[in-house]
Chain A
């Protein structure tokens, strides 16, 4: 049985522990970094969205043609002369996939650590958090295709393997979410949570289509949009030849003349991304790499809580998850 003692993130929201990410990134061990962030948060409880046949009984349902006769409760039949099917609650833990973008653009940095390092630490934090709750966590790194895939497990030693995979430097080429997300959606037969950590430097049209692969599978999708502070503010002061790390293309840019246009295009891109995620029912979080991980985790938990409340409001407190509700 899982510990159903509900964590109370409200206390954390009231007193958020703020750790400077620059200082945190000085810790060489990613596992320690994740542990430092997660410390203070209680283990969460996740109700499974699946119904199974474990020992915990949920309800009886009248037999209908086509049901498996193995699950007919013969005692009830003896008592009532009616066929009833005995239903149980599936106690399978949350299956969470962490999708980490390892395209070349994730290696960009204007400071001490790159977007990939920040994304790795964030993913490690989430993995550690979920592992402490007994949830199964898997990992997929990708650029234009899935480079490494680790299926969801919740063994203690599995976290170390995950963190080792997260510490790998991005070696991919251009960001292309389509093939890896489509492939991952095909691989997942059970619904679960998918956490996408990427800089989403791809066209909006493709982004909507690519994220749609995951949503179509009924997965609970969370997107962490990671940007470097220099990408957000574009505060260069001298003209230079800007080289695209993914395509190698050179472009002479005078920041003084180009900054306004850059901000305009970036804001439009972010707004469209947020709009796309909203339309698909995806939790969207934009993070600059100088933002503390605590706040990121807090935002994540707050959003999950809101989401659970919304589900319960829709289905009522007595509504089972078998009706399609999602819970954290």
Chain B
């Protein structure tokens, strides 16, 4: 018979208590009520001799009860040989090696390789090993099945050889995803391999365990019970690490400034010992033009980058002064100012505040990201073909001759937008020509005082920015005049806004791939005060964006990001070349929407090999989280229910002991002998109760003591008179 918790047998020592109590005869429990104790002094109790035991049977029963209770708590069971034999000593190991950018720090990678090889050397022939590397994603170098196919004597050597081919990349660290992948791999292998179903499962993590590691994937993951994690953290010697981060310029449409140098956030690590750094452009013609930056440990500051003479090309910002330089370079793409060509067909004087052109020019001013060029042309004169081809938006406010209508329709069919503002009902002829219909009925609407916009289709892309109730108030715009147009005569016309009397105010007519936007009222003061409202400029820029002219392409990405290709190069391109910073050219076909091989920081270029066009550039930088190199407490993993084990030796011993204890627990829970011991205890307690009661009866007490305890009482009471 074995005991699950033999320490409880120490409770048998409690059986000495009844023996002592039986040997010591307590002084009398007789209680005598007396009038006052003021004349009495306490006397020492007289004890009976300790050499003689009384009520030996009662003593034995009481001692037995205590011994049985201690025995029951010790959880006895009959040990049997385990059905599956002894605890399986084989292990199932996933070796996770961090190859993120932070492993580029000095000396880390070498020590990581040494740790990995030492782990591989400790593996036995019965072990199943899987080798994985991870950064932003997780890759399997050697799977469990591949490990089994190898000769046992060569497994460690082959795995070491594979690991030696690894090198740290530039990606961020998604530790949570890597751990989940490794745990899943262990479970899958355990499910597939029935022979070693009870083998110990272990993940050995080799990495710098930096603070910037993502653990989000562990939040929604229930960690397997039998899988334990061994962390082999590689500490870094240099502690000061400052990083660069480019701040987004939100004011791209704002007025142009003389100095458009970007704002840079510089962050210093919490355990830094240095707080003085220099920021300068790499390969700068002015080597002395560096900015001194002071950042306290654990803090960050935003500085203005030093002025770069040649801002039209890509450039590198370099930070110096810290111990680790893997994240000290920031690739910056200058924000190029785009030119927007607007062709205005009308007779307005540009300086006439009563005309529409004046307000159009005011709306399309020159900003940091945009330069407008407005070409005015009377509609009755023949248009220059070059003006039409280069125009990003054509605004028509005048009657247009037939020749021009034909040119404008070609323009529309090419997929560009045209804004047609009806100055009068006679403009319906030009409108019908542009829309490609015979006639469109239009007449001057009768407005008592003014009309307002009554219904707007906010789900239309042009009006979607106004869908927020904060911006969707159009009631302050008064329309003194407008034209009533029968949109039913325009096939495919969609009304975007109506006046409060139901007349269409803005509607669109698809022409080819383009869109003809019709405003039935002008924005000059004689027609409406639309030009003076806050909605005018957004509407015009929305028209440009709706036509695809103002589509912005971000120029800053992080390593691992997918860069969209669509829109960067002309449509229909079949051979796209992306040139990486290391000179490698990646060819893409027209079906691929994104470029995903952003595995290096630097400037990438996208070009069309079939055409002689300017390439598009974008910069890829290191993720900011990867620069948070201060060590992460391993308790952060335990908080996410990941069981940690300090060393492999201890793991093995503890695991074996735990497995043995588990098997004993299982046997004990099947037998449940403690119940029978408890039954015997209860029976003994009943016997003890009965025996104690019988021995404590007055007759027995009198026989034992011989004389009563109290003074002789008075004569028996008689009935009162």
Chain A residues whose CB sits within 8 angstroms of the CB of B717 once the complex forms:
112
Known A236-B710, A241-B28, A242-B34; contact A26-B40, beta-carbon cutoff 8 A = no
A246 within 8 Å of B (CB atoms) = yes
- Docked Cα-Cα span, A107 to B33, in Å, equals 11
B250 at the interface (CB under 8 A from A): no
B676 at the interface (CB under 8 A from A): no
Q: Which residues of A contact B257 (CB under 8 A)?
A: none
> Of B41-49, B158-166, B332-340, B381-389, which binds chain A?
B41-49
> Which residue in chain A gives the minimum CB-CB distance to B45?
A252
Q: What are the interface flags for A145-181 relative to B under an 8 Å C-beta threshold, 1 for contact and 0 otherwise?
A: 0000000000000000000000000000000000000
Q: In the complex, which residues of chain B have a beta carbon less than 8 angstroms from the beta carbon of A251?
A: 37, 40, 42
In the bound complex, residues from chain A placing their C-beta under 8 Å from that of B40 are 242, 251, 253, 258, 261-262
Q: Kindly state the separation between the CA atoms of A110 and B36 in the bound complex, as whole angstroms.
A: 13
**Pairwise interchain contact B43-A242, C-beta atoms closer than 8 A:** no
A39 interfacial contact with B, CB 8 Å? no
* Beta-carbon contact of B31 and A250 below 8 Å: yes
The stretch among A4-12, A90-98, A124-132, A227-235 that forms the contact with chain B is: A227-235
Q: Do A252 and B27 form a contact, CB below 8 Å, given A111-B714, A238-B708, A257-B43?
A: yes
Measured CA separation A26–B720 after assembly (Å) = 5
Q: Of B28, B33, B708, which contacts A243 at CB under 8 A?
A: B33
- CB–CB A258/B711 < 8 A: no
Measured between C-beta atoms, what is the minimum distance from B385 to chain A in Å? 122
Question: How would residues 254 to 279 of chain A score, 1 for a CB under 8 Å from any chain B CB and 0 otherwise?
Answer: 10011001100110010000000000
**CB closest chain-B residue, reference A263:** B39
Measured as residues with beta carbon below 8 angstroms from the partner, the interface class of chain A is 35 or more
| Cβ contact of A235, chosen from B29, B711, B720, cutoff 8 A | B711
Query: Is A201 in contact with chain B by the CB < 8 A criterion?
Result: yes
- A236-B32, A239-B28, A242-B37 are contacts. A252–B708 as well, Cβ < 8 Å? no
- B30 on the A face (CB < 8 A): yes
* Contact yes or no, A249 B37, CB < 8 A: yes
| Contact of B46 with A245 in the complex, beta carbons under 8 Å | no
Interface flag for B584 (CB, 8 Å)? no
DSSP class of B's interface residues: helix, strand, loop or mixed? loop
Question: Which positions 42-68 of chain B face chain A at CB distance < 8 Å?
Answer: 42-46
Instruction: Determine the chain A residues whose CB is within 8 A of the CB of B44 once the complex forms.
Output: 254
User: Quick one: which of A27, A28, A203, A240 contacts B32, CB cutoff 8 A?
Assistant: A240
Which B residues lie within 8 Å of A105 (CB)? 35-36
Known: A27-B721, A238-B708. A253 touches B43 (CB 8 A): yes
Residues of A within 8 A of B39 (CB): 234, 261-262, 265-266, 269
- In the complex, whether B150 has a CB less than 8 A from a CB of chain A is no
Q: Does A81 contact B (CB under 8 A)?
A: no
Chain A residues near B37 (CB-CB < 8 A) = 242, 244, 247, 249, 251
Chain B: CB-nearest residue to A231: B35
Find out whether the CB atom of B29 lies under 8 angstroms from the CB atom of A241: yes
Q: How many residues of B contact A (CB 8 A)?
A: 31
- Residues on A with beta carbons closer than 8 Å to the beta carbon of B33: 108, 242-243, 245
B687 contacts which chain A residues (CB < 8 A)? none
Q: A110-B711, A230-B711, A253-B42 are in contact. Are A239 and B35 (CB under 8 A)?
A: no
Roughly how many angstroms separate A250 CA and B721 CA in the complex, as a whole number? 37
Q: How far is the CB of A143 from chain B (nearest CB, A)?
A: 13
What residues of chain B lie closer than 8 Å to A108, measured between beta carbons?
33-35
Q: Which A residues are CB-close (under 8 A) to B31?
A: 240-241, 243, 250
Given the complex of chains A and B, what is the CA–CA distance between A108 and B40 in angstroms? Answer: 16
Question: How many angstroms between the C-alpha atoms of A158 and B10 in the bound complex?
Answer: 77
Closest CB-CB distance, A303 to chain B, in whole Å?
A: 26
- Give A288 Cβ to nearest chain B Cβ, in Å: 13
Interface: B38 (CB within 8 A): yes
A244 touches B32 (CB 8 A): no
Q: A245–B38 Cα gap in the complex (Å)? A: 12
Q: Is the CB of B30 within 8 A of A28?
A: no
A204 to B: closest C-beta gap in Å: 11
Q: A108-B34, A111-B714, A240-B710 are in contact. List 14 more A-B contacts (CB 8 A).
A: A199-B35, A237-B711, A238-B30, A238-B709, A239-B27, A241-B29, A241-B30, A241-B31, A242-B32, A253-B41, A253-B43, A254-B46, A257-B43, A258-B43
